[in-house]
Amino acid sequence: MAHHKDAELEAVLAQLVDAGLVFRHGEPPHGSLIFKHALVQDAAYSTLLRGQRQELHLRIGKALEERFPETAETQPEILAHHYAQGGVLDRAIGYWRKAGERALRRSATAEAVQHLTHAIELTRSLPTAPDRDRRELDLHLALGRMIRMVKGIAAPDTLHVFSRAHELLDEDASVDEHITVLYGLWGVHYVRAEHAAAHEVSQECLTLAERHRNDEAAALGHYILGDTLWATGAFAEARSHLDHILKLYGSLDESGAAGRFQHNYDVNALAFLAWSLWPLGYPEQAARAATQTISRARQVGHVQLMAFALHCGALLKAGFGDDDEPGSGIADETVAFSVQHGIAAYELWARFWQGAAFARHGDLHQEVDVMRASMAAAATIEAKLFRPLHLGQLAIAYTHLDQPETAIGLLDEALATSETTKERLFDAELHRRRGDLFLILGYASQAETALGQALTVARAQNARLWELRAATSLARLWWKQRRHVEARDLLEPLFGWFIEGFDTPDLRRARALLNDLR
């Protein structure tokens, strides 16, 4: 009987080959048949009833699993496909996840994301039940670790993954799972410059830490809240939270983080501490913190952390430093490192600081193009963080190109952006640069108004260095207007507040002007 069926099958297959519908390679049991055209395959498949198709896929899946176990190990996505089409969703989900994990081991991150996404889609087809939500959460946690690299930190797909994971969190989820989801969700909001939403996630993390008395959650909560406060211009509050993390980890020295912590939030905290100390009026301490950030990151040996640490130095030098300083060396190093290790986000930002640095002393038109290209690339991945700062730096380049009106337009756009996003970290500097540009154009009244706004913002933020820059510009204007007493009364007590940084261009200029006023 079996021999009769085999002969019948052979006859049918021969007819298909003779008709030119399929190719035949080899002989059973190791031979194979391939349709000559996908349309022929689709037509043949469409003639099967739904139940027949499911039965066929299920039989193929079981046959592969039982007779070809190596396929299940090396190509689990094939079994996942057949079990999904066969209606056995549990097994399909398991194989899609296995395929994702296998792709990740091969560093095929995009492929891993695709496989895990298939698994999540199937999970949603399962009946509603706690174990279904648990499985979906597990898959989202696995996917979240990868999607940021494939789609970008601020991409809509990344936001969707972490938002859904956040919805799936319940009391049974571990503290580590809560931390993973909150950090991911905060990162999306932060890089998208959605600072109000980022602040809410930060507070939720601190509440989690307090409820469970968990130092890991506390370190993360203080770090992301400190970052968010820094971005909104609350430098002193940010410093308080960042200092708290460093106390949790032990110290500011390079001896390493306490062993009980799984993540190196101390490195992140040092970077943002550097960025906070500078506007607060402690440039030497800021520079030391930036150096410690890089040293600590090298000690940890994590590639992405190292790229972040280098970017810390690039932003501090080219972004916060004096308008006339070159500061391209650290930006060059950040770009080279990011390119070498394929870290797109920090390469993009570092290229901007390269352009900003060279625009002060190099080919202005070329470097303006570099800065604009970097900003355009950031926009394509929803990365709106630093946009007011970037627009402010671009305005410097146009100032050097003798296009002050264009520069003022960029500064107006920057201030409008900060008003929308509440990213206030550079507002005082934006107003100060508007004032300086009005002086170039000969509009003394508008310049005085803009510099007064810069002083008001800087004082509200306790940003002594930003205040000193604005006061120096305003005092110079008053000096030219022979308002010497007012100029000296503005600048002298502010200069007297500083206890460090006297060799920086900012303090040297202020001191020289004071000497002229005395």
23's enclosing H/E stretch is: strand 22-25
Identify the weakest region by mean pLDDT among 20-24, 131-135, 332-336. Answer: 20-24
> What's the domain range around 40?
2-72
Do residues 423 and 241 make contact, with C-beta atoms less than 8 angstroms apart? no
* Proportion of the chain above pLDDT 70, given as a percent: 79
CA distance 48 to 63: 20
Identify the weakest region by mean pLDDT among 58-62, 412-416, 433-437. Answer: 58-62
pLDDT band at 102 (very low <50, low <70, confident <90, very high): confident
Tally the residues of the chain: 518
Average pLDDT over the chain, rounded to an integer: 84
* Proportion of the chain above pLDDT 90, given as a percent: 50
CA torsion sign, 18 to 20 to 21 to 27?
positive
Indicate whether 16 belongs to any domain.
Answer: yes
Position 44 scores a pLDDT of: 47
Name the token pair of 273. 């501490």
Indicate whether 205 belongs to any domain.
Answer: no
Indicate whether 31 belongs to any domain.
Answer: yes
CA distance 137 to 165: 6
Position 45 scores a pLDDT of: 45
Indicate whether 508 belongs to any domain.
Answer: no
Identify the weakest region by mean pLDDT among 254-258, 365-369, 442-446. Answer: 254-258
CA distance 108 to 251: 39
Number of domains in the chain: 1
Could you report the per-residue pLDDT of 179-195, keeping only the tens digit for each? Answer: 999 999 999 999 999 99
Indicate whether 130 belongs to any domain.
Answer: no
- DSSP type of residue 24: E
What dihedral angle (degrees, nearest 10) is formed by the CA atoms of 94, 96, 102, 104?
Answer: -120
Do residues 380 and 351 make contact, with C-beta atoms less than 8 angstroms apart? no
Report whether pLDDT(319) > 90: no
| CA distances from residue 367 to 322, 372, 398, 454 in whole angstroms, order as listed | 18, 9, 11, 28
Position 52 scores a pLDDT of: 59
Indicate whether 23 belongs to any domain.
Answer: yes
What's the pTM value of the predicted model, to 2 decimals?
0.81
Position 5 scores a pLDDT of: 45
The closest of 291, 317, 413, 393 to 352, measured between CA atoms, is: 393
Report whether pLDDT(93) > 80: no
Could you report the per-residue pLDDT of 342-386, keeping only the tens digit for each? Answer: 777 788 888 888 888 766 666 678 889 989 999 998 888 888 999
Indicate whether 486 belongs to any domain.
Answer: no
Identify the weakest region by mean pLDDT among 197-211, 254-268, 398-412, 435-449. Answer: 254-268
Name the token pair of 225. 């809240």
Report whether pLDDT(308) > 70: yes
- Average the pLDDT over 242-270 and give the result: 75
Identify the weakest region by mean pLDDT among 78-87, 200-209, 272-281. Answer: 78-87
Higher pLDDT, 367 or 285: 285
- Average the pLDDT over 325-335 and give the result: 74
Higher pLDDT, 1 or 63: 63
Per-position DSSP letters for 104-118, written without gaps between them = HHTT-HHHHHHHHHH
pLDDT band at 145 (very low <50, low <70, confident <90, very high): confident
Name the token pair of 247. 């106390």
pLDDT band at 117 (very low <50, low <70, confident <90, very high): confident
Indicate whether 111 belongs to any domain.
Answer: no
Name the token pair of 446. 């508008």
- Average the pLDDT over 195-219 and give the result: 96
